[in-house]
Structure 1
């Protein structure tokens, strides 16, 4: 497994220098900003990720204000009360994408948010307190306790909340395979642990957030060689 300084140097060369490279990558939110996120915004992020999964992200973005209105600005206390009659009406609401299975995740994830907030003070506080060196453990927690938050959805939720996390994009996965960390796309807890160990090692080598590590990996490989 190469030292991350080599990955960083390759990405910088492809993007016209280190300054240009870091202009392309984002950073996680400071802890206080992450803690300030309200439960309704956390539920909104979850819902957007669920609806964008396997669908046009652009369409969901264009209709998002309709989602906010149809789902009462994602107040979890209201949304846990959604019953079959409410869901049936939403299935005929042209303000949103009318996917019944995804609509049904909203009250389930609202309950998940409320239960977590009751135990930890807020959903964001629970997320903020989870150690980054076990971020894949948090992915598994979201998958287990949330609705339709498996695959990359959990990492997308965390990234959009501003939690420090890597994302297993196609290019990041290809790099992990090339480095011998895994031999195929991740499908098991054992593979997740191997990936977590690799990212922990790389973070110790260069002292960068997980968010930037995975973005830099993505920019160091694949077909994105255009100079900026």
Structure 2
């Protein structure tokens, strides 16, 4: 890997492109404390996780508009109630015109309810599990969600975490372009090598800047390409 660019240089570039420090600060994402994340219910997190699965590769607005119907169809996403659905009931929901007709994503709601329930049994709650995970190994949390859940690979798991306020960077197209263009990574982003290299770089930038991973990720994206944040 090449020598990492100093975070201050990335910050200056973002400010030059976006109209100054205050403009950049106004575009930074919001993160929550571990205590705040720990207050989420399992149902709230299962709903958010399921919504992110449906939004992946689909028109987000359509998913958002239909989500109240999902809340009703899946008992407000209470994991135990979701797990009581029979195969026929799951199939009915997968073909319901009031919802989105997608068998695999509908089944993922049930599969991920199993994950939430199992992790909750281990840690007291799914929220506690997410809250306590250290940010200097956030890609380890990505891997765990992908391994234990369903359809949570790629950016789906990270976007879910960001939505719920967990501090994480995102591998958007612009962030990936920066990391490859500056030789921060020398492998494909689906590889564990690239994730380790990326995590190490973000950890160093965090030590330099004192900012969150989410803020660093956004600053990088604001300073390059098309600002796909």
TM-score normalised by L of structure 2: 0.95
- Name the CA distance, whole Å, in 1 between partners of 2:34 and 2:132: 9
Choose the corresponding residue for 1:148, options 147, 151, 156: 151
- Per-residue CA deviations over 1:81-108 (Å, capped at 9, x if unaligned) read 2221111211232221010011001111
Q: What is the CA deviation profile of residues 136-177 of structure 1, one whole-angstrom value per residue up to 9, with x for unaligned ones?
A: 000000000001001111101111111100000000000101
Conservation of the 8 A alpha-carbon contact between 1:27 and 1:209? no
CA distance in 1 between counterparts of 2:156 and 2:104 reads 16
Alignment partner of 1:115 is 2:118: yes
RMSD of the TM alignment (CA)? 1.3
The aligned residue for residue 226 of structure 2 is 223
| 1:179 CA drift (Å) | 1.5
Unmatched segments (≥5 aa) in structure 1: none
Q: Could you tell me which of 40, 46, 54 is aligned with 1:37?
A: 40
1:195 maps to which of 189, 193, 198: 198
Question: Cα offset for 1:223?
Answer: 2.8
Q: Which runs of 4+ in 1 moved over 3 A?
A: none
**C-alpha displacement of 1:185:** 4.4
| Aligned positions, number | 225
2:183 matches 1:180: yes
Note if 1:210 corresponds to 2:209.
no
Which residue is 1:96 aligned to? 99
Using the size of structure 1 for normalisation, the TM-score is 0.95
Deviations 1:65-121 (A, max 9, x none): 111111111010111122211112112322210100110011110010011111111
Q: Contact 2:95–2:102 (CA<8 Å) still a contact in 1?
A: no
